[in-house]
């Protein structure tokens, strides 16, 4: 079943076509990789799906509904959550508070009920704290809960960001270069984690990544972009040996 | 909040309740004590906007004026009881705050500072010529508040109204900042794009922050009007100078803290008074300025954090000392 369909997406900045008539679809429960050299337009695709950019033309369909007209803050309620290329944490908040923000869209509190701390608010607060702690346990960082996000090493910050995306219980999660800045063992742990998210929580995963070994290891299908266009799509084995892909990367050198 | 913190707040409230009648302050000093709590309410409101939501305002003196004149008009002309006028002043000023918040959606940082500054100047000018509402240069005389026949004539009796309201507002603020609204405001302050991706409607929360901040200042404005026996639009508390003072309060006390707002307001209200007894007149302002600079240099996060840092230092010293003892014993 098609979970996310990107249909003929074009995004122009001035005269530049950052994304040019791109189409691909992600099946439910799949780990799908979006790769390409620097400036290929991968993050632009992400920003179109998460609605930060308004595409010049084309449609984005999620779970059978068109989401191309939604506002950025409405996307999480549709069931899509994301992380950012250069970690975008709430620096002056604790790790736990960062995760709680991921719950904001699903919390039925308003300023008056919160100001007077009605029992419904207390209950809600307890519930979301428990849920956030559960996620921290899955990520194995529950001991960091009450430390400031900015005080954490980069690898942990990346995990916190994934955690924040998880608490909203998304059905599709978009990870923008999750392995960037990580060492080998950290990348291996990340691969395990991503597989766990899909296998145990049933979340569909759309991955933008530079680390080829990670993509080749865990993705079922891959779309390769270059200059905003799709140059190849398919299983890792097919993509690896595709001459156009090899040409785009490293000018002919073999990849992975 | 842990038990230790609860106890320290309760002790503080007890001190605030008992000290004034024990000291039996002269009228002018009791007036200053009333004033410092009113300013503390403004500082808490401004801190919600700046410290928590990350939006700047240099126009809070004008919000104070809106609250003060709304309350004066309601009680004097429409004969509305004081406590209802108090709430209405907060709400009406809150609406004005929301209106100012709308252009803030398009402005950031320095540009927002200038826009709010412009608002501050405009309101004072409008109030100066809108004589049917404000009485203009000849001023008006707001009534002393009355409740169940008791008239709060003295600065001391009025102090308790202000104190109770301050405590209530501190509790409400505390509840707001540690739940959904507070988290949304702080998230927006730290990263607007991540906040959006997490489902936070940034435009809504920016406007809300302005409205909320103005609501507090409107309440303070109403309290201020009824503290004064006589009020004109040229009052220093409504001026740009005072708006900058409010900013200084939260920077000195501690951006993003409730306790810092109160500490800052008390310091900025009392410091000029304490230094005013010095023999040379302008020395007072110079010393006040020097102390502000010193605080900003040595405690850049504000005085509220300075206490925590001192405690840390002591604990570290103690830990080192213990280590030395352990080493000695091992030898």
Minimal Cβ distance to B198: which of A91, A110, A164: A164
Minimal Cβ distance to B190: which of A74, A90, A106: A90
| Cα A2 → chain centroid | 18
- The answer to whether the CB atoms of B193 and A84 lie below 8 A apart is yes
User: Model ipTM?
Assistant: 0.91
Cβ–Cβ < 8 Å for B178, A101: no
Confidence of residue B328 (pLDDT cuts 50, 70, 90): low
φ, ψ dihedrals at A81, nearest 5°: -130, 160
Confidence of residue B250 (pLDDT cuts 50, 70, 90): very high
Q: Are residues B180 and B144 in the same domain?
A: yes
Q: Is the pLDDT of residue A254 over 60?
A: no
- The answer to whether the CB atoms of A97 and B179 lie below 8 A apart is no
Cα A145 to Cα A99: distance, rounded to the nearest angstrom: 9
Q: Rounded to whole angstroms, what are the CA distances from B248 to A146, B179, B252?
A: 30, 27, 6
- The answer to whether the CB atoms of A75 and B180 lie below 8 A apart is no
Residue of B198, B211, B216, B258 for testing the chain A interface, max A β-carbons within 10 Å:
B198
Please tell me which residue, B303 or A4, carries the higher pLDDT value. Answer: A4
CA distance B194 to chain A (A): 6
CA distance B190 to chain A (A): 5
State whether residue B88 is helix, strand or coil: helix
Q: Are residues B274 and B326 in the same domain?
A: no
B88-141: pLDDT as tens digits: 999 999 999 999 999 888 888 899 999 999 999 999 999 999 989 998 888 899
Identify the pLDDT of residue A250: 62
| Chain B residues close to A111, C-beta within 8 Å | 176, 181, 208, 212
Question: Average pLDDT, stretch B248-275?
Answer: 92
Average pLDDT over chain A reads 92
Q: Are residues B242 and B309 in the same domain?
A: no
Q: Is residue B10 part of a domain?
A: no
φ, ψ dihedrals at A66, nearest 5°: -75, 130
Cα B164 to Cα A186: distance, rounded to the nearest angstrom: 54
- Over pLDDT 90: what percentage of chain B? 66
Q: Is the pLDDT of residue A245 over 50?
A: yes
- CA pseudo-torsion sign A181, A187, A189, A192: positive
Identify the pLDDT of residue B138: 87
- Over pLDDT 70: what percentage of chain A? 97
Q: Are residues B311 and B222 in the same domain?
A: no
Q: Are residues B172 and B121 in the same domain?
A: yes
Confidence of residue B143 (pLDDT cuts 50, 70, 90): confident
In which element (H, E) is residue B151 found? strand B150-151
Q: Is the pLDDT of residue A256 over 50?
A: no
Q: Is residue B64 part of a domain?
A: yes
Domain that holds residue B46: 27-300
| Chain B residues close to A175, C-beta within 8 Å | none
Cα B188 to Cα B115: distance, rounded to the nearest angstrom: 20
Q: Is residue B252 part of a domain?
A: yes
Q: Is residue B277 part of a domain?
A: yes
Which tokens go with A88?
């975008």
Q: Is residue B203 part of a domain?
A: yes
- Beta-carbon contacts of A243 under 8 Å, excluding residues fewer than 6 positions away, are none
The domains of chain A are located at 1-79+170-256, 90-169
Cβ–Cβ < 8 Å for B49, B41: no
Q: Are residues B312 and B242 in the same domain?
A: no
Average pLDDT over chain B reads 90
CA distance A17 to chain B (A): 23
Q: Are residues B231 and B309 in the same domain?
A: no
| A9-18, B265-274, B301-310: segment of lowest average pLDDT | B301-310
- Beta-carbon contacts of B75 under 8 Å, excluding residues fewer than 6 positions away, are B81, B82, B85, B142, B143, B226
Identify the pLDDT of residue B106: 87
B145-198: pLDDT as tens digits: 888 778 888 999 999 999 999 999 999 999 999 999 999 999 999 999 999 999
| Beta carbons within 10 angstroms of residue A181's beta carbon | 13
Task: Give the number of domains in chain B.
Answer: 2
**B198-231 CB burial, b ≥16 within 10 A, e <16:** bbbbbbebbbbbbbbbbbbbbbbbbbbbbbbeeb
B191-248: pLDDT as tens digits: 999 999 999 999 999 999 999 999 999 999 999 999 998 999 999 999 999 999 999 9
Q: Is the pLDDT of residue B52 over 90?
A: yes
What is the count of residue pairs from A and B with beta carbons less than 8 Å apart?
97
Cα B17 to Cα B9: distance, rounded to the nearest angstrom: 12
Identify the pLDDT of residue B167: 96
Q: Are residues B237 and B322 in the same domain?
A: no
Domain A1-79+170-256 CATH assignment equals 3.20.20.150: no
Q: Is residue B168 part of a domain?
A: yes
Minimal Cβ distance to A125: which of B179, B189, B193: B179
- Beta-carbon contacts of A170 under 8 Å, excluding residues fewer than 6 positions away, are A76, A79, A80, A81, A203
- The answer to whether the CB atoms of B186 and A97 lie below 8 A apart is yes
Q: Are residues B60 and B132 in the same domain?
A: yes
Q: What is the DSSP string of B94-138?
A: HHHHHHHHHHHTT--HHHHHHHHHHHHHHHHHHHHH-HHHH-GGG
Residue B162 sits in a domain whose CATH number is: 1.10.3470
| Cα B157 → chain centroid | 21
A167-221: pLDDT as tens digits: 999 999 999 999 988 888 889 999 999 999 999 999 999 999 887 889 999 999 9
């Amino acid at each position: 079943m098609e979970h996310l369909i990107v249909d003929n997406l074009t995004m122009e900045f001035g005269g530049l076509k950052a994304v040019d008539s791109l189409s691909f679809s992600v099946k439910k429960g799949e780990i799908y990789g979006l790769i390409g050299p620097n400036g290929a337009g991968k993050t632009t695709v992400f920003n179109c799906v998460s609605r930060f950019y308004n595409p010049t033309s084309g449609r984005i369909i999620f779970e059978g509904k068109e989401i191309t007209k939604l506002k950025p803050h409405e996307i999480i309620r549709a069931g899509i959550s994301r992380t950012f290329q250069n970690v975008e944490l709430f620096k002056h908040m604790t790790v736990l508070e960062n995760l709680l923000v991921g719950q904001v869209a699903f919390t039925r509190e308003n300023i008056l009920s919160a100001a007077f701390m009605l029992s419904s608010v207390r209950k809600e607060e307890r519930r979301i704290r428990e849920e956030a702690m559960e996620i921290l346990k899955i990520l194995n960082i529950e001991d960091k809960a009450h430390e400031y996000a900015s005080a954490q090493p980069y690898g942990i910050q990346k995990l916190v960001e994934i955690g924040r995306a998880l608490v909203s219980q998304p059905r599709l999660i978009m990870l923008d270069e999750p392995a960037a800045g990580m060492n080998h063992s950290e990348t291996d742990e990340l691969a395990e984690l991503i597989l766990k998210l899909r296998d145990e929580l049933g979340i569909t995963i759309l991955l933008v990544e530079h680390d080829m070994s990670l993509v080749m290891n865990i993705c079922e299908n891959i779309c390769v972009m270059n200059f905003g266009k799709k140059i190849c799509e398919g299983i890792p084995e097919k993509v690896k040996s595709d001459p156009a892909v090899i040409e785009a990367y490293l000018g002919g050198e073999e990849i992975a | 909040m842990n038990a230790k913190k609860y106890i320290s707040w309760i002790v503080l409230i007890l001190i605030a309740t008992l000290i004034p009648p024990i000291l039996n302050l002269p009228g002018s000093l009791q007036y200053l004590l009333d004033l410092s709590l009113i300013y503390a309410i403004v500082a808490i409101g401004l801190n919600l906007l700046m410290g928590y939501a990350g939006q700047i305002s240099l126009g809070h003196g004008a919000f104070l004026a809106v609250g003060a004149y709304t309350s004066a008009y309601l009680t004097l002309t429409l004969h509305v009881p004081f406590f209802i006028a108090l709430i209405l002043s907060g709400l009406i000023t809150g609406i004005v705050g929301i209106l100012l918040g709308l252009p803030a959606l398009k402005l950031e940082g320095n540009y927002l500072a200038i826009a709010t500054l412009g608002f501050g100047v405009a309101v004072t000018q409008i109030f100066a010529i809108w004589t049917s509402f404000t009485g203009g240069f000849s001023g008006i005389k707001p009534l002393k508040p009355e409740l169940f026949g008791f008239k709060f004539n003295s600065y001391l009796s009025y102090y308790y109204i202000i104190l109770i309201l301050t405590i209530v507002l501190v509790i409400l603020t505390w509840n707001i900042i540690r739940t959904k609204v507070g988290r949304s405001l702080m998230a927006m302050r730290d990263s607007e794009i991540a906040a959006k991706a997490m489902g936070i409607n940034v435009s809504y929360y920016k406007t809300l922050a302005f409205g909320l901040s103005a609501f507090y200042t409107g309440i303070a404005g109403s309290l201020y009007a009824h503290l004064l026996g006589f009020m004109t639009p040229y009052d220093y508390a409504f001026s740009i100078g005072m708006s900058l003072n409010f900013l200084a309060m939260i920077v000195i006390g501690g951006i993003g803290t409730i306790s810092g707002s109160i500490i800052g307001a008390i310091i900025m209200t009392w410091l000029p008074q304490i230094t005013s007894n010095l023999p040379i007149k302008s020395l007072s302002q110079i010393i006040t300025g020097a102390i502000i600079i010193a605080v900003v240099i040595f405690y850049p996060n504000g005085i509220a954090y300075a206490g925590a840092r001192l405690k840390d230092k002591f604990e570290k010293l103690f830990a080192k000392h213990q280590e030395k003892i352990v080493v000695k014993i091992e030898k």
